């Protein structure tokens, strides 16, 4: 219809160039269109109950009611008359004309249904009947659409559709009569005055009275609605403050509220807020804010930010996401799930709120958790005085919010408390541009398990990376695992894997992380995974569902590391190596593999020209392989030392050479490093059978016979059990920050990968981190690290600060340190001495020791 109008106007425009004539012609055309719409609408007045009008008729009625029909609802019954003025002419075609305009309704319903099902599964209350109130439910579309996720007649004891428009309510009554759903009641009433007590008996036979965190506000009767939804209705309610206030009393203390609606907002509005559940894609440009507010004002739809802001202030945020309706001019809309901001105790004790915060704090810091129910306040105060600095960032944020009567950060309202609070607006987190570097982890878990022997008494700290090693360590059932990564997106990937363990069968788990693709990922994310994800992780994956699309290249060709993989693929295509690589992966013996590699593949990928022009470029090394400047300098220094004394084991530090000298050797150093990495792997490890690290690079997926241990069926069987990840805490921060907040003497294992290579040689930063590791670790605790240098400069620092070091792997004489062989050395260090509390003005002092003979190295 719009294209017809434009074509007509263009034709008329060619008849006259006179502006006055053009205005007359345009006015005549609009008058003609108005008349057509009006006549069509009037001619159908006797058929207002027609359930399936044609597309043309539906559009004409919608266009007339929204843009042409005079508004007549400014007198009489106020808001109800205003709604009738808008909806009466289009009630019968409302659903047909809103399918594309009102995006996100199905997703919101799927999310709230998933929350209710997960709660029922966790609490064993599948047989319990629930109450649902759909505020501004209109024609009842949402209630019928919910049947895609749960059986509405069976899952809910009562469903109340509350709407103030008689025309829409009449359509809803007709709908539920047709469906035969007797548990659905249509209430034509102002939502401010709707009370469940008028329709339900809400007395609790147990006499239980809930306890709340924040204040002594009037406590509603126990019961209330288990679910409240608002679908594109909040933006049409003039007195939204009172409606939101009434909903806080309408919702059960353990209930869920879901809202989907239009919005416009600037990121500036959100500064210093820590309770909104994340700001991914929330900002709308100044032009968008002006245009959409003006556009929707025509239909009395208000998009001011205060509506959403007040909603988030009055409730705790469970999930939150911001999207655009790309089919209709990129209209901004949001989906938000919340719960009462007061935290309900199932144990009726006034100490519970503080217990919850203290318990989560203790889990993040390894501090002793002393329940007030079992210990005196004197003991609690004594512990607090003994370690006043041992508090997590989540605890500090909770105290700020509690004192200001704000909702707690959204992390406190999650169903699982794996993810620790972090401020997603800090530059140190936003620098990664919403992208992870590694889609898979490069450290060989087989070697890690052999060296560390992780058991049930261990408290492990490890860098998250892609989360593969974290999951592998979880197979040892340690008491606690602290996964640490400064890049939020790496932790989003780990969260997704943990959520998948918690809810998906092995076949779906394998498709996601074995094959790297799943055609139903969007549906799984909404209906299965969402209850197990933090708000920030959920937003991230909803914005990146294309990663697992069957039309994409899959998970393992995403992230910064994809650049290196694409270079290999490009070379394979340019030099005709694709068939050779395929035969390499199918090789059944090492001799067959060596033959294919040496004749068909090595001459190309080991080209010095490639090493000099591409691989040795610092930007490529960082973006594709995650090699920072300091680590690059270490391998350059090793190369210079080996060239000056052939065959010698280098202990050279980058400080021994000038920047110019290091850079001049870069091309040769990188080429030599590639040779020492790849040649021994081909000699000793059968890629297609027992080396999943190189298999995924060359193939883009794992195979059923070759994959990391966390992808094995028996691993899924173990880690999908209830409580399997109760000991997991995911920190989005620097290692230093996390270690500083651990209670001294509680950590037993630290796996720092190659992170020590990133420090400036000789700087105090490395020494400070080592001292903090010493402080956090038990005597006998072990640190596992890998390095691009054979003898890293910081090993001596470890040994001067209470550790004994042993090199347990070195690339000497063509040997491999593991199946990846990406690093020159691997070290296992044990803590043998405690250090006195460190101050900048006093030397460190040893206060205890452990015998070397007691350590297993």
* Dihedral sign for Cα atoms in the order 680, 684, 689, 691: negative
Using one digit for the tens of pLDDT, what is the confidence trace for 469-524? Answer: 999 999 999 999 999 999 999 999 999 999 999 999 999 999 999 999 999 999 99
Q: Are 423 and 429 in contact (CB under 8 A)?
A: yes
Angle at 148 (CA atoms; ends 145, 149), nearest 5 degrees:
110
Q: Would you state the pLDDT for residue 400?
A: 87
Helix count and strand count (H, E) for the chain: 37, 16
Q: What percent of the residues of the chain are helix, what percent strand, and what percent coil, each to the nearest 5?
A: 50, 15, 35
Residues 317 and 383 in one domain: no
> Which residues on adjacent β-strands are paired with residue 731?
484
Q: Would you state the pLDDT for residue 655?
A: 66
Q: Residue 743: inside a domain, yes or no?
A: no
Q: Residue 708: inside a domain, yes or no?
A: no
Residues 397 and 316 in one domain: no
Instruction: Give every CB contact of residue 509 below 8 A, 6+ residues apart in sequence.
Output: 500, 501, 711, 716
Residue span of the structural domain in which 256 resides: 99-340
* Calpha distance 581→593 (Å, rounded): 10
* Helix (H) or strand (E) run with residue 287 in it: helix 286-297
Closest by CA position to 292, among listed 240, 237, 335, 329: 329
Residues 74 and 172 in one domain: no
CB burial readout 794-807, b (16+ within 10 A) else e: bbebbeebbbbbeb
Closest by CA position to 263, among listed 294, 299, 291, 302: 302
Structure tokens at 625: 């392989």
Q: Are 798 and 769 in contact (CB under 8 A)?
A: no
Residues 230 and 327 in one domain: yes
Instruction: Give every CB contact of residue 570 below 8 A, 6+ residues apart in sequence.
Output: none
Residues 308 and 189 in one domain: yes
Residues 69 and 109 in one domain: no
Q: Would you state the pLDDT for residue 843?
A: 44
Residues 145 and 277 in one domain: yes
Tell me the three-class secondary structure of 337-404, residue by residue.
EEEECCCCCCCCCCCHHHHHHHHHHHHHHCCCCCCCCCCCHHHHHHHHHHCCCCCCHHHHHHHHHHHC
Name the pTM for this structure: 0.84
* Calpha distance 155→356 (Å, rounded): 31
> Which residues on adjacent β-strands are paired with residue 777?
747
* Calpha distance 256→115 (Å, rounded): 8
Residues 364 and 319 in one domain: no
Which region, left, alpha or beta, applies to residue 300 given φ > 0 means left and ψ of -120 to 50 means alpha?
Answer: left
Q: Residue 786: inside a domain, yes or no?
A: no
> Which residues on adjacent β-strands are paired with residue 332?
324
Q: Residue 143: inside a domain, yes or no?
A: yes
> Which residues on adjacent β-strands are paired with residue 134?
161, 229
Structure tokens at 339: 């719960």
Instruction: Give every CB contact of residue 328 below 8 A, 6+ residues apart in sequence.
Output: 100, 101
Which region, left, alpha or beta, applies to residue 576 given φ > 0 means left and ψ of -120 to 50 means alpha?
Answer: left
Residues 264 and 399 in one domain: no
Q: Residue 173: inside a domain, yes or no?
A: yes
**DSSP, residue by residue, 238-280:** TTHHHHHHHHHHHEEEEEEEEEEEE----GGGGTT--SSS--T
Tell me the three-class secondary structure of 502-548, residue by residue.
HHCCHHHHHHHHHHCCCCCHHHHHHHHHHHHCCHHHHHHHHHCHHHH
What are the backbone angles phi and psi of residue 594, rounded to the nearest 5°?
A: -65, -40
Residues 70 and 104 in one domain: no
What are the backbone angles phi and psi of residue 451, rounded to the nearest 5°?
A: -80, -35
- Count how many domains the chain has: 4
Closest by CA position to 466, among listed 789, 699, 721, 753: 753
* Dihedral sign for Cα atoms in the order 443, 445, 450, 452: positive
Closest by CA position to 695, among listed 602, 582, 603: 582
Q: Residue 194: inside a domain, yes or no?
A: yes
> H helices within 88-221, ranges in order?
94-98, 105-123, 141-145, 152-155, 166-179
Instruction: Give every CB contact of residue 602 below 8 A, 6+ residues apart in sequence.
Output: 678, 679
- Burial class, 844, CB count within 10 angstroms (exposed 0-12 / middle 13-18 / buried 19+): middle
Q: Residue 537: inside a domain, yes or no?
A: no
Arithmetic mean of pLDDT over the chain: 81
Q: Do the strands 251-262 and 225-231 form a parallel or antiparallel pair, or are they unpaired?
A: parallel
Q: Are 446 and 468 in contact (CB under 8 A)?
A: no
Residues 317 and 218 in one domain: yes
Q: pLDDT under 70 in the chain at which residues? A: 1-100, 125-127, 202-223, 343-356, 369-389, 610-611, 613, 615-616, 618-626, 644-653, 655, 837-857
Q: Residue 424: inside a domain, yes or no?
A: no
Structure tokens at 60: 């004409």
Residues 330 and 362 in one domain: no
Q: Are 299 and 66 in contact (CB under 8 A)?
A: yes
**Which residue has 């000699």 as its token pair?**
683
**DSSP, residue by residue, 748-764:** EEEEEETGGGGSPTT-H
What is the biggest distance separating any 2 CA atoms in the chain, rounded to whole angstroms?
A: 101
CATH number for the domain including 286? 3.40.50.150
Which region, left, alpha or beta, applies to residue 584 given φ > 0 means left and ψ of -120 to 50 means alpha?
Answer: alpha
Q: At what angle do helices 166-179 and 79-87 cross, to 10 degrees?
A: 60
- Burial class, 601, CB count within 10 angstroms (exposed 0-12 / middle 13-18 / buried 19+): buried
* Calpha distance 82→827 (Å, rounded): 74
**Which residue has 């019928």 as its token pair?**
144
- Burial class, 116, CB count within 10 angstroms (exposed 0-12 / middle 13-18 / buried 19+): buried
Using one digit for the tens of pLDDT, what is the confidence trace for 364-376? Answer: 888 776 544 444 4
Instruction: Give every CB contact of residue 664 below 8 A, 6+ residues apart in sequence.
Output: none
Angle at 523 (CA atoms; ends 517, 527), nearest 5 degrees:
130
* Calpha distance 374→330 (Å, rounded): 56
**DSSP, residue by residue, 424-483:** TTSHHHHTTTT--S-SS--S-HHHHHHHH---TT-EEEEE-TTSHHHHHHHTT--SEEEE
* Calpha distance 312→306 (Å, rounded): 10
> Which residues on adjacent β-strands are paired with residue 225?
251
Q: Are 725 and 499 in contact (CB under 8 A)?
A: no
């Amino acid at each position: 219809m719009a294209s017809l109008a434009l074509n007509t106007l263009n034709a008329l425009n060619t008849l006259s160039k006179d502006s006055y004539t053009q205005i007359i012609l345009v006015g005549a055309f609009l008058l003609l269109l108005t008349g057509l719409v009006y006549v069509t609408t009037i001619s159908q007045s006797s058929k207002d109950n027609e359930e399936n009008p044609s597309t043309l008729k539906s559009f004409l009625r919608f266009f007339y009611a929204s843009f042409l029909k005079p508004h007549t609802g400014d007198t009489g019954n106020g808001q109800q008359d205003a709604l009738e003025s808008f909806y009466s002419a289009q009630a019968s075609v409302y659903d047909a004309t809103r399918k594309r305009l009102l995006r996100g309704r199905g997703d919101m319903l799927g999310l709230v249904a998933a929350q209710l099902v997960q709660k029922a599964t966790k609490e064993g209350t599948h047989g319990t009947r629930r109450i649902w109130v759909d505020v501004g439910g209109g024609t009842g579309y949402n209630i019928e659409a919910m049947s895609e996720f749960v059986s509405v007649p069976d899952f809910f004891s009562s469903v109340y559709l509350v709407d103030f428009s008689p025309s829409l309510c009449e359509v809803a009554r007709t709908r539920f009569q047709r469906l035969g759903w007797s548990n659905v009641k249509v209430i034509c009433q102002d939502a401010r005055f709707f009370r469940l007590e008028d329709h339900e008996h809400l007395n609790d036979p147990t006499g239980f009275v809930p306890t709340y965190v924040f204040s002594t506000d009037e406590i509603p009767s126990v019961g209330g609605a288990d679910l409240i939804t608002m679908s594109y209705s909040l933006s049409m309610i003039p007195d939204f403050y009172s409606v939101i206030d009434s909903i806080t009393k309408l919702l059960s203390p353990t209930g869920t509220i879901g809202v989907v609606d239009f919005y416009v907002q600037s990121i500036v509005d959100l500064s210093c807020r820590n309770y909104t559940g994340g700001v991914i894609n929330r900002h709308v440009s100044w032009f968008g804010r002006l245009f959409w507010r003006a556009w929707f004002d025509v239909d009395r739809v208000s998009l001011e930010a205060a509506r959403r802001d007040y909603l988030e202030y009055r409730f705790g945020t469970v999930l939150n996401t911001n999207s655009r309706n790309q089919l209709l001019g990129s209209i901004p809309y949001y989906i938000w799930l919340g719960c009462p901001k007061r935290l309900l105790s199932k144990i009726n004790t006034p100490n519970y709120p503080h217990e919850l915060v203290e318990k989560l704090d203790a889990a993040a810091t390894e501090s002793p958790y002393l329940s007030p129910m079992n210990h005196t306040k004197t003991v609690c105060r004594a512990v607090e005085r003994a370690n006043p600095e041992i508090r997590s960032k989540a605890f500090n944020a909770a105290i700020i919010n509690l004192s200001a009567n704000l909702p707690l950060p959204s992390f406190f309202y999650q169903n699982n408390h794996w993810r620790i609070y972090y401020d997603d607006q800090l530059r140190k987190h936003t620098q990664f541009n919403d992208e992870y570097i590694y889609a898979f982890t490069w450290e060989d878990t087989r070697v890690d398990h052999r060296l560390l022997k992780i058991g049930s008494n261990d408290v492990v700290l490890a860098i998250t990376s892609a989360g593969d090693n974290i999951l592998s360590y979880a197979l040892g059932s340690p008491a606690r695992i602290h996964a640490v990564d400064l890049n939020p997106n790496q932790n989003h990937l780990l969260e997704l894997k943990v959520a998948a363990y918690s809810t998906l069968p092995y076949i779906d788990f394998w498709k996601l992380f074995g094959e790297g693709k799943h055609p139903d990922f969007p549906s799984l994310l909404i209906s299965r995974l969402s209850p197990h994800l933090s708000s920030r992780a959920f937003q991230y994956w909803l914005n990146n569902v294309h990663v697992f699309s069957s039309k994409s290249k899959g998970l393992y060709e995403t992230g910064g590391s994809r650049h290196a993989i694409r270079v290999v693929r490009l070379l394979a295509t340019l030099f005709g190596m694709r068939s050779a690589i395929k035969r390499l992966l199918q090789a059944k013996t090492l001799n067959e593999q060596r033959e294919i590699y040496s004749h068909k593949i090595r001459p190309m990928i080991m080209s010095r020209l490639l090493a000099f022009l591409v691989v040795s470029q610092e930007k490529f090394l960082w973006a594709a392989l995650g090699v920072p400047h300091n680590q690059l300098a270490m391998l350059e220094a090793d190369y210079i030392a080996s060239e000056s004394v052939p065959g010698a084991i280098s202990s050279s530090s980058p400080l021994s050479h000038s920047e110019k000298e290091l850079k001049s050797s870069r091309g040769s150093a990188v080429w030599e490093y590639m040779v020492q990495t790849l040649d021994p792997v081909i000699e000793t490890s059968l890629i297609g059978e027992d080396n999943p690290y190189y298999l995924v690079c060359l193939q883009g997926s794992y195979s059923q016979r070759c994959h990391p241990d966390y992808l094995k069926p028996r691993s899924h069987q173990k880690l999908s059990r209830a409580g399997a990840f109760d000991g997991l805490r995911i920190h989005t921060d620097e290692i230093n920050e996390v270690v500083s907040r651990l209670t001294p003497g509680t950590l037993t294992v630290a796996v720092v990968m190659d992170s020590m290579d990133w420090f400036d040689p000789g700087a105090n930063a490395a020494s400070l981190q080592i001292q903090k590791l010493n402080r956090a670790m038990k005597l006998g605790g072990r640190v596992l690290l890998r390095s691009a240098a054979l003898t890293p400069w910081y090993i001596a620092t470890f040994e001067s600060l209470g550790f004994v070091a042993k090199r347990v792997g070195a690339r000497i004489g063509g040997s491999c340190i593991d199946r990846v062989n990406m690093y020159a050395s691997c070290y296992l260090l044990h803590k043998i001495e405690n250090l006195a509390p460190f101050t900048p003005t006093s030397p460190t002092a040893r206060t205890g020791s452990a015998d070397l003979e007691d350590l297993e190295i």
